[in-house]
Amino acid sequence: MELFATIFAMTYQFGDAFSFLVISCAGLAVIFGMMGIINLAHGEFIMCGAYVTAAAARVGLPLPLAILCGALVAGIVGMAIERTVVRHLYHRPLDSIIATWGISLIATQGVLIVLGSTMQGIGTPPGSVAVGARSFSLYRLVLMAAAAGLLVGLYLLFYHTRFGVIARATIQRPQMARALGVDTSRIYALTFGLGAALASLAGGLYAPTMTMVPTMGATFIVESFVTVVVGGADIFVGAPAAAAILAVIKASMTAWYGQLFGQIGLLIAVIVVIRVLPGGLSAWLKKTRQ
Partner 1 sequence: MTPSPDNRRYQEFMRRVLQQDQVDVVFAGFSSASREAYRPIVNQFDGLAFYNNQYEGGVCDANMIVTGAVPEQQFSTLIPWMMETYGPNVYTIAADYNFGQISAEWVRKIVDDEGGTMVGEEFIPLGVSQFSQTIQNIRESGADFVVTLLVGAAQASYYEQAASANVGLPMASSVNVGQGYEHKRFTPPSLAQMHVTTNYIEEIDTPESKAFVEKFRAAYPDEPYINQEAANSYIAMYLYKQLVERAGGTDHDAIRAVIAGGDVCFDGPSGNVCLDPKSQHMSHTIYLAKVEDDHSISFPKVWENIAPYWLGQAGCDLTQNDPSAQYTPSNPPSAN
Residues that bind partner 1 (CB under 8 A): 9, 12-13, 16-17, 20, 118, 120-124, 126, 128, 130, 133-140, 208-211, 213, 215-216, 218-219, 251, 254-255, 258-260, 262-263
Distance of CA 208 to the CA centre of its chain: 17
Q: How far is the CB of 46 from partner 1 (least distance, A)?
A: 11
What's the closest the beta carbon of residue 124 comes to partner 1, in angstroms?
Answer: 4
CA distance 14 to 32: 25
Least distance to partner 1, CB of residue 63, Å? 13
Using DSSP's 3-state secondary structure scheme, residue 280 falls into helix
CB of 116 to partner 1, least distance (A): 9
Cβ proximity to partner 1: between 35 and 150 the closer is 150
Q: Is the Cβ of residue 102 or residue 258 nearer to partner 1 in the bound state?
A: 258
Give the nearer residue to partner 1 in terms of CB position, either 184 or 227: 227
* Closer CB to partner 1, 223 or 234, in the complex: 223
Residue 232 buriedness (CB in 10 A; 0-12 / 13-18 / 19+): buried
Q: Which residues of 82-117 are buried (b: 16+ CB within 10 A; e: fewer)?
A: bbeebeebbeeeeebeebbeebbeebbeebeeeeee
CA nearest neighbour of 22 among 199, 186, 197: 199
Cβ-based neighbour number of residue 281 at 10 Å: 22
**By C-beta, is 12 or 158 nearer to partner 1?**
12
Shortest distance (Å) from residue 281 CB to partner 1: 23
Let me know: does 46 contact 21? Beta carbons within 8 Å. no
